[in-house]
Amino acid sequence: MYTQLVKQGRERMFWLILFFSGIVFIIFSFITRPYDGISKIHATPSWVGICTGLSILIFGIIIYLVDVKGKQSWFQIIRPAGTSTLTCYLYLICCIQFTVLYIFNIFILHVYFKVSNTL
């Protein structure tokens, strides 16, 4: 939709749609909050509205920064996440496993073997 509206010279329409749809979702979430509350676990309408509204607004900010202002270099740090999602999942799993094993080993050395300096 963005590229089509830019080609037609109606870029302003895109920004209005994006902004107002994000605001509508956030207003919807505040209207429905008294009925179910805000709960991620129960996936209440207010939680979904807040997440959707904020995601739309942040998406618009990223589009503005990258396409309009040309700040692609700001996002180089997260580039691997967009190009190789499998690597991101594997990296996260490896970090968690390393952390858990490290803590477990420290615990075993200190408690079970009563070693005072491990490193």
Same domain assignment for residues 88 and 107: yes
Same domain assignment for residues 56 and 15: yes
Same domain assignment for residues 115 and 65: no
Which pair of structure tokens corresponds to residue 34? Answer: 């008294």
* Domain count across the chain: 2
Mean pLDDT value across the chain: 82
Q: What is the mean pLDDT of residues 27-45?
A: 88
Same domain assignment for residues 112 and 62: no
Is the entire prediction scored with pTM above 0.85?
no
pLDDT in tens, 46-66: 999 999 999 999 999 988 998
Query: What's the pLDDT score for residue 74?
Result: 83
Same domain assignment for residues 15 and 64: yes
Same domain assignment for residues 33 and 89: no
User: What is the domain range of residue 56?
Assistant: 2-75
Residue 116 predicted with pLDDT over 70 = no
Q: Please tell me which of 6-15, 40-49, 53-62, 92-101 the model is most confident about, judged by mean pLDDT.
A: 53-62
Query: What's the pLDDT score for residue 66?
Result: 87
Q: Is the dihedral of CA 104, 105, 108, 111 positive or negative?
A: negative
CA dihedral 60, 71, 82, 84 (to 10 degrees): 180
